[in-house]
Structure 1
C-alpha cells in the first residue's frame, strides 16, 4: 500500500478546504426523482433478465455505465450521475454506493456484497463541519470482497484485492492483496493459469 493517508497531512487539510461542497437545488430535486424512480423502476426488477433494464434506468439518470455492467437491484446508489462503470464491472448485492463524490469502477472490477463505498467526508477542522467530496476509483480487474469499506479519495489499483471486511483509507498498489482494519499489505496477487506447452 502507498504511504499517503487522506487524514494525516497539512496538505490534505488544505485540499479539503479547497474542495468544500454544497449541493444545488437541481441536485436535490434530481435525488428526489431518483429516489422515486429507484423504488418503482429499479428495485422491483431484480431478476437477472432485467440486467440491461437496470442499466438503462441508471443511464436515464446520467450514469456513465457500460451495457455489460452488472448492478444488482438492491444496490443503494446515492447519485447515478456520479457513477461510472466499465465493461463487465459488477456491483454485488446490497452494496452501498454513497457517491456524493464520483465513483469509478473500471473494466472487469468486482464489488462484492455489502461493500460500502464512501466518496465524501467532512472537514473536521472546520467549525461548520463542511462537506468534502473525494472521488473513489476501483481499477481494472480489482476485487473488493464482502463487507469491505472503501474510504473517501481512495484508489484501488488494477488487479488489487481487498479482503472481506477490510477497511481501506489509503491507496492500494496494483496487483496486491490487502486486508484488516485499517487494511494493510498481505501479499502480491499473482494469476495462476493452466500450464502451456513449451516450444
Structure 2
C-alpha cells in the first residue's frame, strides 16, 4: 500500500534523476546496485522482491511484475515495454491460486523491446531475448533467441574493441 503512494514521486521525477529512483526503491526493500538506470515510466510492482545488479538498466514503460523474486544481473538491460513476469496461477486448481515464481536475468543479458520473460525463466549471462520474443523456457548464456515461443537464433559473440 505504501509503495502505491511512493509511485507518483518515482513516476513523475525527471528522467535524469536515476539516483532518486534508486533511493526510493531501496526505501521499499529493493536491492539496487550503483549506477543502475531506471526510467521513470518503468512500472515496478513489488520492489522488495527486486534485486538489480550494478550498471543495469530498465527502460521506458518496462513492466517489472515482481510477484516473486526477480534478479537482474550486472550490466543487464531490460528495454522499453519489456515485461518480466514473476507470477502465475495454478490452472490445475479450480480456485486458481497465485504462484509466486521468480525469474533471473543474467549479467550482461539484454531483454529487448516488447519481449516477455515468464515465471521461472532464467535468461543466461550475455543472452539476448529479441524484440517481441516470448521466453517461457530458460535461455542459454550467450545466445540470441527470438519469436513466440522464443527459439534459438544464434550464439552471441561480442566484437573485440579495436585499439585507438
TM-score (norm 1): 0.80
What is the number of residues matched between the two proteins?
163
The corresponding residue for 2:130 is: 163
Q: 2:162 & 2:34 partners in 1: Cα distance?
A: 34
Q: Which has the larger radius of gyration?
A: 1
The corresponding residue for 2:5 is: 36
Q: 2:142 & 2:160 partners in 1: Cα distance?
A: 16
Q: 2:116 & 2:36 partners in 1: Cα distance?
A: 21
Q: 1:176 & 1:166 partners in 2: Cα distance?
A: 13
| 1:194–1:64 Cα change, 3 Å | closer
Q: 1:112 & 1:47 partners in 2: Cα distance?
A: 15
* Aligned counterpart in structure 1 of residue 82 of structure 2, from 115, 123, 130: 115
| Greater fraction of residues in helix | 1
Q: How does 1:105-184 map to 2 (within 5 A)?
A: 105-184=72-151
TM-score (norm 2): 0.97
* Aligned counterpart in structure 2 of residue 91 of structure 1, from 52, 58, 78: 58
Q: Which consecutive unaligned segments of at least 5 residues does structure 2 have? A: none
Q: 1:142 & 1:194 partners in 2: Cα distance?
A: 19
Q: 1:83 & 1:179 partners in 2: Cα distance?
A: 25
CA positional deviation for 1:193: 1.5
Q: Which consecutive unaligned segments of at least 5 residues does structure 1 have? A: 1-31
Q: CA RMSD in A?
A: 1.0
| Greater fraction of residues in strand | 2
